[in-house]
Structure 1
């Protein structure tokens, strides 16, 4: 079973199981910032585990691009995340593919109901919140030509897809996840806020990530050949 429907807005009579009522209270005035939503989630993790569906509910159905940002943030922190690059990268790649095709974002219900480990993600979200606060200070609508058309937005989503595929690679290299993660963060944040400067930074980060992996691969091959020749000689 899968769902195309966006999570119900806060204040609805339905509440995701396990999520406290306080997390879904609608505050008067402008929508909360994503860093403020992370603060709410951190309080929830003090009580019990949280699912991706509940995370979307806390974000008040503001869009799957915010979920992309949330899933990429852990890889921009110094906290090791063994085994998470594949599932998180797969979700980002799936959302990026649909956005690149100009289709409505979609996730299987099975993924939305996955429960996140409270001890690990409490630390991850705390570190991610600091990064996101820095982003929120600089984000603003700029260079409108980069987001003026649907085709331009789809091209940015293609880069998100490629960066997510790099996250999926099981590379035992330092920063092999960090550079693609920042590419995703810049691109998704740029699309959310229509910030062309962040979009440019996202594409540059993707090029740097590709160059780093290619150069590391070449160095690795040459190193193996050198060791082989030394053993034979």
Structure 2
């Protein structure tokens, strides 16, 4: 397993696959590289994909220090540096979309094109999930929490018939403190003032039935980022890229190849 060294000395594990122009894939909060299992291959005909285990997850170091979406972006730059990649397309989903916002805004020379999936600008301008959704995720019964998360990610028909495993439900190997650090990092994200600084071609994608990160955030991002395109996938929940892979992957590929 290759590692990049972050600015604070933490080791960030990363993975590559395919061949072609580089595409950095950034997954969701408290998840590792497996978020992209079964999907990254869709891009390998024209892209060399790069994934990473966020600090606190997978094979990366897990320091018990404050995390932030800006810090995760800096870790991603360390990975690109270690690979000798000067510029990459970036596709971030959920918290990974928040990290991707900082990459494009703060490191514009490193990002060629940008796709933001099922994410939000954060801060007071974002549309927050409902109290009912929040309560469903803090129940004392872990089985009930997993079921609630599954329902937020996928439609009932899909979750009932898909063979699994479901790779978007969190990294089970994470220590509890790292989960809290990830939650705090995502909750504190606020890139609203930086979004107009994003100057690369940008596509915003969201499922219309996403309650985990409400779909109303998608037009906020698209209107705030100059020239951004918006595409809503009817009927999709938070894990649109997985359940609606046959729609989402070609959509993203077409955008990346045309930009």
TM-score when scaled to structure 2? 0.26
In terms of fraction of residues, the more strand-rich structure is: 2
TM-score when scaled to structure 1? 0.28
